[in-house]
A and B are shown apart, each in its own frame.
Chain A
Amino acid sequence: MTALHRPVLWLALAILGLPLAAGAAPPTSVDGVPIDPEAELVVALTDDTTNLDPRIGMGSIRSNYIRQIFESLVDVDRQGRPVPGLALSWKPVNDLTWEFVLRRGVTFHDGEPFNADTVLFNLDRMFRKNLDKWGIKDVAAGTAFDKVYPFVTRWEKVDDYTVRVHTSEPSATLWDFLGREPLVPRAWTIKHGVEALNDKPVGTGPWKLVAWKRKDHMAFERNDGYWGGPTLAKRLRLQVIPEAAARIAALRAGQVHLVEAVPPLDAEVLGKTSTIRVASSVQKLACRIYLNGRTKDAYESGGKDGAFADPRVRMALNLAVNREAIIAKIFHGLALANASPVATVAYGYAAQPPYPYDPARAKALLAEAGVSAAQPLTLQLLLPAKHYGQAFDETVGAVVEMLKAVGVQVTVQTLDFGTLLQTLTKGTLPPNGGFAACRTSNNLDADDFVRDWATTTLVNWTPYPPELLALYQSTRRQVDAKKRLAALAELQQRVRDWAPVVSLYQEKKAYAHSARVLQFVPTQELNMDFRGVALRR
Chain B
Amino acid sequence: MRAFLLRRLVHAVFVVWGVVTVVFFLVRLTGDPAALLVDATATREEVERARQALGLDRPLLVQYAEFLRAAPLGDFGVSLRERRPAMGMVLEHFWPATAQLALAALVLAVVLPIPLGVIAATHRNGALDHASRLGSLFLQSMPSFWLGLMLILLFAVALGGLLPAFGSGTLSHLILPALTLAAAPLAQNVRLIRAGMLEVLQEDYVRTARAKGLAERGVVYRHALRNAAGPFLTVSGLSLGFMLSGTIVIETVFSWPGMGRLIVQAVPGRDFPVIQAAVFLFAILFVAVNLVVDVLQGLLDPRARVFGDGA
Contact = CB atoms under 8 A, between A and B. Distances in A.
Partners in one complex: yes
Contacts of A198: 82-84
B83 A51 contact: yes
A246 B83 contact: no
A140 B50 contact: yes
A240 B165 CA distance: 12
Identify which of A138, A416, A459 gathers the most chain B CB atoms within 10 Å of its CB: A416
A209 to B, nearest CB: 16
B31 A242 contact: no
Contact of A451 (B41, B49, B89): B41
A181 to B, nearest CB: 13
Nearest to A427: B44
A131 interface: no
A242 B258 CA distance: 13
A207 B100 CA distance: 32
B30 A140 contact: no
A144 B84 CA distance: 22
Nearest to B260: A215
A255 to B, nearest CB: 5
Interface residues of A, number: 55
B255 A216 contact: yes
B268 A416 contact: yes
A249 B43 contact: no
Interface in B67-109: 79, 81-84, 89, 92-93
Contact of A246 (B41, B54, B149): B149
B51 to A, nearest CB: 9
Most chain B CB within a 10 A radius of its CB, from A51, A214, A216, A456: A216
A448 B33 CA distance: 24
A421 B40 contact: yes
Contact of A459 (B40, B44, B81): B40
Contact of B41 (A250, A417, A452): A452
B15 to A, nearest CB: 28
Contacts of B93: 214-215
Interface in B155-180: 156-157, 161, 164-168
Given A246-B152, A422-B31, A437-B40, A241 B83 contact: no
A3 interface: no
Contact of A51 (B45, B81, B164, B255): B81
Interface string A57-89: 101000000000000000000000000000000
Contacts of A213: 257
Interface in A238-257: 239-243, 245-246, 249-250, 252-255
A23 interface: no
B42 A140 contact: no
B294 interface: no
Most buried by B among A51, A139, A217, A418: A418
Given A50-B81, A215-B257, A216-B167, A252 B35 contact: no
Contacts of B300: none
A468 B253 CA distance: 49
Interface centre among B44, B92, B156, B161 (most CB of A within 10 A): B44
A144 B49 contact: yes
B201 interface: no
Given A51-B81, A249-B149, A418-B30, A457 B43 contact: yes
A524 to B, nearest CB: 19
A424 interface: yes
A455 B40 CA distance: 12
Contact of A250 (B82, B89, B156): B156
Given A249-B165, A250-B165, A255-B156, A143 B39 contact: yes
B36 A418 contact: yes
B82 A50 contact: yes
B252 interface: yes
Contacts of A252: 157
Given A140-B53, A255-B161, A424 B35 contact: yes
Interface in B1-48: 30-47
A57 B253 contact: no
Interface in A43-61: 44, 47, 50-51, 56-57, 59
Given A50-B81, A142-B38, A457-B41, A246 B166 contact: yes
B270 interface: yes
B287 interface: no
Contact of A142 (B39, B53, B79, B265): B39
B252 A242 contact: yes
B40 A425 contact: no
B241 interface: no
A250 B152 CA distance: 8
Contacts of B167: 216-217, 239
A241 B35 contact: no
Contacts of A153: none
A458 B262 CA distance: 27
B36 A215 contact: no
B94 to A, nearest CB: 12
B41 A439 contact: yes
A458 B35 contact: yes
A83 B221 CA distance: 76
A254 B261 contact: no
Nearest to A250: B165
Given A140-B54, A246-B166, A255-B164, A425 B35 contact: yes
Contact of B43 (A50, A240, A418, A456): A456
A245 B35 contact: no
Contact of A240 (B152, B255, B262): B255
A142 B253 CA distance: 30
B153 interface: yes
Given A195-B83, A418-B268, A418-B270, A214 B257 contact: yes
A144 B42 CA distance: 8
Contacts of A458: 35, 40-42, 44, 47
B41 A459 contact: yes
Contact of B46 (A51, A147, A437): A147
A245 B153 CA distance: 9
A414 interface: no
Interface of A: 44, 47, 50-51, 56-57, 59, 138-144, 147-148, 195, 198, 213-217, 239-243, 245-246, 249-250, 252-255, 416-419, 421-422, 424-425, 427, 437, 439, 448, 451-452, 455-459
9 contacts: A50-B79, A239-B255, A241-B166, A246-B149, A418-B270, A422-B32, A427-B44, A457-B40, A458-B42
Given A44-B166, A246-B152, A421-B35, 5 more contacts: A214-B82, A217-B167, A249-B149, A250-B156, A418-B30
6 interchain residue pairs of minimum CB distance: A216-B257, A421-B35, A215-B257, A250-B165, A253-B156, A50-B81
